């Protein structure tokens, strides 16, 4: 029997209230102890409340990290989730350190006024961080419904995709504004790929693009690489990117990379996939740094999603988070694909969103 109620997708919403309550009680007790410095019991009570708050904060942090990793985050909430996670990280480890200092103040260091006053100033700073963490969490719940309801924000984009699929000829990627775009290849996609995408490595001829009739998806774009690496990009330079690619690589022998923050052919972030593994990482000056690698257990049509920005990187396959990493951001750059191998790649859609 699960201890998590039906309305909560995980235990994190239940845990977070404990550190807030304990730290608040600790802070008030700490303030009272400044006026009753001879009452060691009050000061020690504040210390133990800080310790209990720190323990529950650590639990809340890791359950929150697990909760975020278990969700296919919508584009508009991803930056707020990242900010909430960053504030939670700062707050948790600040209070973990602060609790150890308070133990020393209660049981080792003489409780002089200067010492007590200094620790209380740090407590004020910690409560400020706690407020920022709680505020970002509350915005996720009360403004966006994260954790209590399903968030759907891609319906307008889905309508654009349907309209483009019904077009007689392919006019190319559709500008959604703010640097976002979507492309649903239809007849004429081979010319669009050659003329409307920027080729940083080789050209469209190396991929022999053509429309293919797929039994499941209907008419889709087929790429037929010849073992020569090819890299193409589209759209404007984006600092934080979320990209979705619907692809089938069952008949492809090689590596397909979703590349973003592209600086040049040797420097970019990527989510790569082949028939055995999914990798999230960065190519920096031609040197590959893998953030995380997981085996690929899926086949057939795959829904790939990659997010990168504000030091956070995530890779999803069919809605499941497989890769997670952290690194300093590259300069803004466009999104694209890099293909290296032979066989057949089928692409139904590419969708790129600017996360601001």
Q: What is the tens place of the pLDDT at every residue in 162-197? A: 555 555 677 889 988 889 999 999 999 999 999 999
How far is 201 from 229, CA to CA, in rounded Å?
7
129 and 177, same structural domain? Answer: no
For residue 236, the domain's CATH number is 2.60.120.560
Tell me, yes or no, whether 32 lies in a domain: yes
Q: What was the pLDDT predicted at 45? A: 92
User: Among residues 107, 126, 142, which one ends one of the domains?
Assistant: 142
- 131 plus 196 within the same structural domain: no
Residues 126 and 190 both lie in one domain? no
Number of structural domains (the chain) is: 2
Mean pLDDT of all residues in the chain? Answer: 87
The answer to whether residue 104 is domain-embedded is yes
Say what the pLDDT of residue 49 is. 94
Contacts by residues 25-28 (CB-CB < 8 Å, ≥ 24 positions apart): 25/49, 26/50, 26/53, 26/123, 27/123, 27/127
Query: Mean pLDDT over residues 322-332, rounded?
Result: 93
Cβ pair 341, 253 in contact under 8 A: yes
Q: Tell me how many degrees the CA angle 157-230-235 measures, rounded to the nearest 5.
A: 35
The answer to which of 70-74, 221-225, 252-256, 274-278 has the lowest mean pLDDT is: 70-74
Longest dimension (CA), the chain: 84
Say which range, 166-170, 234-238, 329-333, has the weakest mean pLDDT.
Answer: 166-170
> Are 197 and 135 members of one domain?
no
Same domain, 27 and 176: no
Statement to judge: residues 86 and 223 lie in one domain: no
Percent of the chain with pLDDT over 70: 87
User: Are both 76 and 180 inside the same structural domain?
Assistant: no
Directed axis angle between helix 78-107 and helix 113-142, to 10°?
160
- The closest alpha carbon to 84, from 40, 119, 136, belongs to 136
In a domain, 5, yes or no: no
The band of 150, judged by pLDDT with boundaries at 50, 70 and 90, is very low
Residue 199 contacts by C-beta under 8 Å, 6 or more apart in sequence?
230, 231, 232
Question: Higher pLDDT residue, 9 or 62?
Answer: 62
Is 274 inside any structural domain? yes
CB hemisphere CA count around 126 (13 angstroms): 28
186 part of a folded domain:
yes
- The residue from 142, 159, 189 where one domain ends is 142
CB burial of residue 296 (10 Å; 0-12, 13-18, 19+): middle
Shared-domain flag, residues 343 and 227: yes
pLDDT at 153: 45
Q: What is the distance between the alpha carbons of residues 314 and 322, in angstroms, rounded to a whole number? A: 8
Q: Which uninterrupted H or E stretch holds 291?
A: strand 287-295
Same domain, residue pair 348 and 298: yes
Based on the domain organization, do 112 and 183 belong to the same domain? no
Residue 290: which domain range? 168-354
**First and final C-alpha spacing in the chain:** 41
* Beta strand pairing call for 267-273 and 252-264: antiparallel
Structure tokens at 113: 């006024």
Per-residue pLDDT, 141 = 72
Q: What is the mean pLDDT of residues 201-216?
A: 94
Q: Is 11 a residue whose pLDDT tops 90?
A: no
Model confidence at 159: pLDDT above 70: no
158 within some domain: no
For the cut 50, the answer to whether the pLDDT of residue 155 exceeds it is no
Same domain, 216 and 344: yes
Does 331 have pLDDT greater than 90? yes
Task: Please report which confidence band the pLDDT of residue 1 belongs to, taking 50, 70 and 90 as the band edges.
Answer: very low
Sign of CA dihedral 154, 156, 159, 163: negative
Residue 308 parent element (H or E):
strand 301-309
| 4 within domain boundaries | no
Dihedral angle, C-alpha 154, 155, 158, 163, nearest 10 °: -140
pLDDT reported for residue 71: 65
Average confidence (pLDDT) over 101-106: 88
Burial class (CB in 10 A: 0-12, 13-18, 19+), 85: buried
């Amino acid at each position: 029997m699960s201890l998590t109620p039906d309305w909560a997708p995980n235990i994190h919403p239940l845990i977070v209230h404990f550190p807030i309550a304990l730290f608040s009680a600790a802070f008030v007790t700490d303030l009272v102890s400044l006026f009753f410095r001879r009452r060691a019991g009050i000061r020690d009570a504040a210390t133990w409340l800080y310790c209990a708050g720190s323990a529950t904060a650590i639990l809340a942090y890791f359950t929150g990290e697990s909760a975020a990793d278990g969700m296919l985050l919508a584009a508009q909430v991803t930056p707020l989730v990242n900010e909430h996670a960053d504030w939670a990280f700062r707050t948790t480890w600040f209070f973990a350190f602060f609790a150890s200092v308070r133990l020393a103040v209660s049981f080792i260091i003489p409780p002089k006024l200067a010492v007590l006053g200094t620790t209380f100033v740090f407590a004020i700073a910690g409560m400020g961080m706690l407020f920022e963490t709680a505020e970002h969490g509350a915005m996720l719940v009360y403004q966006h419904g994260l954790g209590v309801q399903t968030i759907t924000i891609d319906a307008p984009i889905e309508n654009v995709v349907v309209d483009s699929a019904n077009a007689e000829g392919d006019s190319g990627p559709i500008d959604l504004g703010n640097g976002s775009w979507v492309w649903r290849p239809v007849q004429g996609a081979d010319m669009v790929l050659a003329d409307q995408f920027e080729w940083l490595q080789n050209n469209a001829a190396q991929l022999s693009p053509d429309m293919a009739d797929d039994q499941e998806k209907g008419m889709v774009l087929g790429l037929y690489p010849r073992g020569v690496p090819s890299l193409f990009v589209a759209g404007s330079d984006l600092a934080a990117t979320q990209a979705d690619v619907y692809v089938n690589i069952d008949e492809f022998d090689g590596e397909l990379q979703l590349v973003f923050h592209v600086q040049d052919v040797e420097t970019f972030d990527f989510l790569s996939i082949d028939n055995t593994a999914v990798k999230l990482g960065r190519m920096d000056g031609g040197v590959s740094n893998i953030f995380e690698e997981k085996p690929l257990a899926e086949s057939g049509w795959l829904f790939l999603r990659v997010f990168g920005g504000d030091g956070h990187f995530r890779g999803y396959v069919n809605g499941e988070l497989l890769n997670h990493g952290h690194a300093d951001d590259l300069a803004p750059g466009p999104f694209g694909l890099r293909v290296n191998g032979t066989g057949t790649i089928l692409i139904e859609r590419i969708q790129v969103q600017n996360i601001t």
